Amino acid sequence: NAGVTQTPKFQVLKTGQSMTLQCAQDMNHEYMSWYRQDPGMGLRLIHYSVGAGITDQGEVPNGYNVSRSTTEDFPLRLLSAAPSQTSVYFCASFATGRYGYTFGSGTRLTVV
Amino acid sequence: QQQVKQSPQSLIVQKGGISIINCAYENTAFDYFPWYQQFPGKGPALLIAIRPDVSEKKEGRFTISFNKSAKQFSLHIMDSQPGDSATYFCAASLIKAAGNKLTFGGGTRVLVKP
């Protein structure tokens, strides 16, 4: 049981490039979310999904797209990377009826 | 607008001492208040959580105190150990809201000196 798996662990992008951060969970959790972590600001919600085919925006969605074609996968796409998107990104999931999120180990992204 | 404010940003405590982290929230509709522990290079992990109908919850050396009227809650780490050195985040959410979205505080870096 791997939990929440994120790839890659590290990535350096040039301004304007696009990329996809991958997230997969094997716990059959309905809910999945993407957060970004910046110093002193805690974790801020980017996008979330309440089930396959259903996504919605969080607190800081600009510049990011998501889709949820299966229960297991919830990729985060950066459309045109900007230095302001330099951050650590965490994917998380939780099951209906339970309250605790399970987080992945994160992707550290640097945009130069 | 920061809906959950956490203090202090960092603290140093001697082994065996008590670590206290405070959080204040604004949205009175919040009904779930978890604390997460994060070690360097890892994702946050749920440590302990409380619902607003309870004023205190204890799990081992970790205790949450909740003051609904003041809209504040705190984490106490008793008999702090070097292995407790980590960043701690408080959070709040609306369980029945779509996605049970967590709103996090800014985090507290705790260093326990041996």
Residue B102: closest C-alpha in chain A: A45
Arithmetic mean of pLDDT over chain A: 93
Contacts of B9 in chain A (CB under 8 A): 40
pLDDT digits (tens, 9 = 90+) for B25-58: 999 989 899 999 999 999 999 999 999 899 999 9
In angstroms, how far is CA A57 from the centroid of its own chain?
12
In 3D space, the residue among A69, A108, A94, A110 whose CA is nearest the CA of residue A3 turns out to be: A94
CB-CB under 8 Å, A45 with B102: yes
| Residues from A in contact with B at Cβ < 8 Å | 4, 31, 33, 35, 40-45, 48-50, 56, 58, 90, 92, 94, 99-106
Chain A contact for B17, CB < 8 A? no
CA distance A99 to B93: 10
Q: Based on the number of CB atoms within 10 Å of its own CB, is B61 exposed (0-12), middle (13-18) or buried (19 or more)?
A: middle
In 3D space, the residue among B4, B14, B17 whose CA is nearest the CA of residue B78 turns out to be: B17
Task: Report, as an integer, the average pLDDT of B73-94.
Answer: 96
The pLDDT of residue A95 is above 90: no
